[in-house]
Amino acid sequence: MNYIEAFEKIVAQQTARVVKMKEDSDFIDYQALDKIIIGVIGGDGIGPAITAQARRILEVLLSEQVKSGKVEFRVIDGCTIENRAAVGKAIPDDVLSAIKQCHVLLKGPTTTPRKGDQWANVESANVAMRKELDLFANVRPVKVPELNIDWTFFRENTECLYALGSQGININDDIAIDFRVITTPGTERIAKLAFDYARNNGKKRVTIVTKANVVKTTDGKFLDVCKRVALDYPEIEVDDWYIDIMTAKLIDEKRRTQFEVLILPNLYGDILTDEAAEFQGGVGTAGSANLGKRYSMFEAIHGSAPRMVLEGRDKYADPCSVIRAGAMLLSHIGFQKEADRLFSALETCTLTEKKIVVTGRDDGATGAELADYIIDTIARMM
């Protein structure tokens, strides 16, 4: 296939995708389901260790719902780098089939090979899952009360550079080209979700982040569409910033407290949310939601840390990121009381009391010991 044919194939794929987006129905009502199936994907590296602790906590919080049959937990194995590389797919077929039988997913980190790694150059499992399940909204909250920081990032998940990252073309030995896609319906739905969140949660400002002064076509479309959606929310103040200066303003003590809700294309959202996570203790403490209309997935935002496994330290890995993601999952499927208990227990155990501390090594607590501490704290709150 020559590069013109390759580009034509990409255009056809994205055109079909736009048609499908326009036909999409509304979000699923989880509480209307007879049974909510929560799939638990350990992933690889430290993923299985930390995800197991988060599942333990969720099973305690939802014990009554599990007994009544309203909630079922399903462990989904096989999403490891070894298995993915062996079959040459980002998500093996049997794993994807099991995933699609669930309603929501709690997921540990998965390894994405780089060129030259020992593993086959398969696509990121996260990127593939977002595309397969159409998880278009990556929602990452960052809250640090003592710094007056309360940010919620709405990162578009299925477009931008990552969506076509495996479809780049080497024109010749001197020229390599990757592709970037931004669509009107794709931008409309992430913008609407962000503005609805702002309206429903008493937020007064929504900030749009692009580089539309330089990347005029795609970022220009993203900015224009977001501003058009904003017209339906006249009570909310809207501003826009370029990604380069935005990274600086997040560490500007005078300016950063003014931001509340932010909308970003995929790549910029990935960069900025990792920076933002540092304010609440680093990416190891941060969880995120990946929302779609039929499926939703909640995960840690950090990597799989294979070195910790090689050194026998996976049991000392900090599970706070995926536990926080679990709290977001509870809120999303309608168990807000349980979510509030978990968020409160996390704050008590990691910020207020800090009776034990996870360091990632044997001079600190294990993930299981931290989970026990959180479970005991939840029991004290009930």
| The two structure tokens encoding residue 359 | 């360091």
Closest to 343 (Cα-Cα) out of 327, 358, 329, 321:
327
Would you state the pLDDT for residue 161? 87
Q: How far is CA 76 from CA 92, 98, 138, 152, 223, in A?
A: 12, 7, 22, 29, 39
The top-level CATH class assigned to 33-135+292-382 is alpha beta
For the chain, the structural domain boundaries read: 33-135+292-382
What are the counts of helices (DSSP H) followed by strands (DSSP E) for the chain?
15, 12
> From first to last of its 382 residues, what are the pLDDT tens digits of the chain?
688 888 888 899 889 989 988 888 788 899 999 999 999 999 999 999 999 999 999 999 999 999 999 999 999 999 988 899 889 899 999 999 999 999 999 999 998 877 666 776 777 888 889 889 999 999 998 888 889 999 999 999 999 887 777 788 888 889 988 889 999 999 999 999 999 999 989 999 999 999 999 999 999 999 999 999 999 999 999 999 999 999 999 999 999 999 999 999 999 999 999 899 888 777 666 678 999 999 999 998 788 998 999 999 999 999 999 999 999 999 999 999 999 999 999 989 988 899 999 999 999 999 999 999 999 999 998 7
Beta bridge partners of 151: 142
Would you state the pLDDT for residue 166? 76
Quick one: three-class SS letters along 60-93? Answer: HHCHHHHHHCCEEEEEECCCCHHHHHHHCCCCCH
**How big is the CA angle at 361 (ends 359 and 363), to the nearest 5 degrees?**
80
Q: Which residue blocks in the chain are alpha helix, DSSP H? A: 3-23, 47-61, 63-68, 81-87, 93-99, 125-133, 160-163, 184-200, 218-230, 243-249, 266-277, 306-310, 320-332, 336-347, 367-381
Would you state the pLDDT for residue 369? 97
pTM of the full structure: 0.84
- How many CA atoms, within 13 angstroms, populate the side-chain half-sphere of residue 53? 27
- Contacting residues for 353 by C-beta, under 8 A, at least 6 apart: 377
